[in-house]
Each structure stands twice: as C-alpha cells, then as structure tokens.
Amino acid sequence: MGRLLKAVSAGIFVAACGGVRDAFTPHVETVARAAGYELTVEQLGQLFSTARSLPLRPDVVERSAHLWVDYVLFADRVLAGDSMLDSVRVVAARWPDVQSALIERLHANLVAARGVLDSAQLDSVYRAGEYRLIRHILLRADPSLSPAAREGKRRQAEALRARLAAGGSWAQANALSEDSLARARGGEIGVIARGETVEPFENVAFALEPGEISQVTETPYGFHVLTRPPLEEVRSSYRAAVERRLSARADSVYLAQLVERRKLAVRSSAPSALREAVREPLLSRESKTVLAEYAGGKFTVGDFMRWLDVLPPQLEDQIGGASDQQLVSLVRSLAQNELLVSEAEAAGASLTDGEMAELKAGLAAEIAQVRSALKLDTIPEGVSGDREARKRLVEEKVMQYFDVFANDLPQLVPVPRFLADRLREEQKWRVFPAGVRRAYERATQLRASLDSAAGRTPAIVPPGAGIR
C-alpha cells in the first residue's frame, strides 16, 4: 500500500515493568528477566568490556538490556513453533497501517454519502463566485530590475493584453508566459478563494466577469494579464477542484462536530508531560499519564510514545523547544486520530482480506529478517516441545547475536517495534535499574583492566553514540 506508514525509530525501547515483589527486590546481579530467561550483570558486563563498537555509557547499557528482552521473547516464540502471524499480532504490529486504512474507509463513506454536484449546483457555485478558476500570463519583474527594465516588462504586458482584447489567441499569448507551471496548463493557476493570493491579484481576479480579460496587474512577482474562463470551457476541471474544496470543508465541519460530540479535551499538564516523556523515553513508553480525554477513551503519554516511532524522527528533538500551544495542538491532532479510528470501528469499518494479507506479508518478511539475523531460519527437531532445550538454544542464539552487533553495529536487525510491544504484553518481563548500574560498573572495571594490560588509553565516547 502506498499509504503504509513505516516505523522510523528502531532504537526506542520499552521501559521496565513487573510485579510488586520484583519492585522491592534489589536484583543487583540480574539486569533483566523475560519469560523465564535471565540476563546477568556478568554477561552484560563482559559483553561491554570487549565490545569496541558499543560506547560504554549507562544509557547504552540500559538500551541493550531492553534489546535483549525483545530478542529473547522473539526467539522463544520462534523456537516454540509460533509464526507470530495471527491476526491479533498482525494488527498490533501494524497498527499505524490499520488506523490509516480504517480512517480512509470512514472518509470514503462520508464522501460517498455527500454525493456529487449536479450541473445546476455547479452552475450556481460558479455564478456565486466564491471559488474562481483563473488563467493568467505572467511576465516576471524581479524587484532588482532597473526602472527602465521594469517599464519594458510593463509595456510588453500591455502589448499582450491589447492583442488579447482585440481577439488574439490566448494560446499564442500564453506561450510567452514566464510562469512555467501555469503555462503548461494553458495558463491555469487552478481554483482560488479569497485570501489565497497576493492582494492586487485577488482584487482583480474576483472582479472579473466570465470571459473578461483584465488590465495589466502588477504584483511582487511581475506583470499579469488575467482571465476568468466561461464555465463551459472548464466545467470538468472546475467541478473536480470545487468538489475537493467542498469535501475538505465538510471534513473540517465533521471533525469539529466529532470533537464537540465526544468532548475531546487536552489537559493543561500535557505540554510538561510531553517534555518529561522525551527526556525519559524508556520509562515513558509504559506511562498511563493522561494527556487528553474524550467520551469513551483517553490519550496517554504511552500512546504518544508509540506515535513517536512513526512520526518524523526530528519531532522528538523539537518537543523540548516547542511552545505549550504547539504541544497542545500536537496532542489534540493525535487524539483526533484516535477519535476517527473509534468512529470508523463503530461504523463497522474493517480491513479487507487483501489488506490483511498485505500487512501479514510485510510482517512475515521482517520476522524472517530477524530470524536470519539470529540464525533461527530452521528449528532443530524436538526443540519446540522441550522447554529446557528451547531455553538453552534461545540463550545461546541471542548472546551470539549480541556478540555480533556489539562489534558491528550496522548489522543490528531489530525485532519489529510494535511486534516487540505485543510480545511484551504477552509475557512477564522486567529490566532492573540496579542491575543495569552494576553491569555498567562491571563493564567499566573489566574494560579498564583490559586497557591497562594492553597499554591502551581508554576510549573517549563521542556524544550521542550508541544503539539506535
């Protein structure tokens, strides 16, 4: 699908979660646990002590622990014979695409219900003049032109206008236009409404009668000769443009009414919550802090962090410097998207079999890439039903792959981000901050010892380096 959204941030990893008992246990020798597997301080410390491609920083150690959780949960499912391609997981792993498809279906139904303009309605819109299809010929006159050169351009435009007024060919005059885009369309600039062009141009355009040729009009772009073609000359293109504009207006009205009906409200605390969230992305991904609420639902910090994976990557860096008003608008826009999905589902919108098959195929291809990276293309006989054998093989394959990417970061193939989220929802897992700190300290000790023994100067970690 051309509309498919791609997750753009493979380096954002989920924050720790776990039971009450774990919350009160130090776990100083355990970095992470997931589905019965354990990553120890010594394992991660040893990895970082010799991994010259991984900068030794606490945040990189923490991200590596979360990455380990993703791979362990993924590998365990693979070796259990689970394709991870059931419809629930496909929808969860491809939720941006699913939402896009549902909203498109809702919009298509709304447009179909509105109908199209009949000839009488189109005639009425044209006569009313709110939307005008304008053609023009432009002779550019840059402000840097000398007065004499500028006057020469004006006289040239006046001559063109005189020939047209005397019945001359518009096509011949248009061939001299210096607006290349409009010239290729016979001089058409499209359908305009008031407030969309510079004032001198607008004043003339909205004073023209059908078929009338304007006087030479000067704007900051140069000298124009305008005309408003009779409807019969442009009925098809005028209809299409007007219907697009009327549809956009109807969309705005629909959305405003939906927001009012569902009582969407962004909390005043939303801007500060967003700024805090991007400072602590790992913790914030599981946050239930409410940013906006509406009848039947709410939009949380955790929801926002999921969106960060599919929005332009520079957005995360821009949030800290954005105004409160900009952040409120951002939250409102994303919450409105949730409302539209809710409306689509309530109206019975769903994916077609073809759409589901396409999403499934895309996820299958990504799963195959991760399986290949972990060297799990084939499953040894008997492993799927033998928990202990499966456990040993998962631990072996994941740590072998850690050794690979720790020494060659470009080879990192992440578990599809939203599939990883889904697998975390299905299994118990936890990353222990105390264990992360101990792993960092242990790696620092080991690396210092190795550097000292080899007579090396400790490496300087460049700012911003790490797993992405």
pLDDT for 53 equals 79
pLDDT for 15 equals 32
Kindly tell me if the per-residue pLDDT of 7 is higher than 50.
Answer: no
pLDDT confidence band for 356 (50 / 70 / 90): very high
Q: Which two tokens stand for residue 429?
A: 């897992």
Kindly tell me if the per-residue pLDDT of 52 is higher than 70.
Answer: yes
Residue spans in the chain of domains classed CATH 3.10.50.40: 120-237
Contact 208, 226 (CB under 8 A): yes
Contact 373, 67 (CB under 8 A): no
What are the φ and ψ backbone dihedral angles of 55, each rounded to 5 degrees?
-65, 140
pLDDT for 395 equals 95
Give the mean model confidence (pLDDT) for residues 332-351: 96
**Cβ neighbourhood burial of 454 (10 Å; 0-12, 13-18, 19+):** exposed
Instruction: Please give the order of strands across the beta sheet that includes 217-219.
Output: 188-192, 132-140, 222-227, 217-219
Q: Which CATH number fits domain 120-237: 3.40.462.20, 3.10.50.40, 3.30.530.20, 3.90.226.10?
A: 3.10.50.40
Kindly tell me if the per-residue pLDDT of 22 is higher than 60.
Answer: no
- Model pLDDT for residues 146-164, shown as the tens digit of each residue: 999 999 999 999 999 999 9
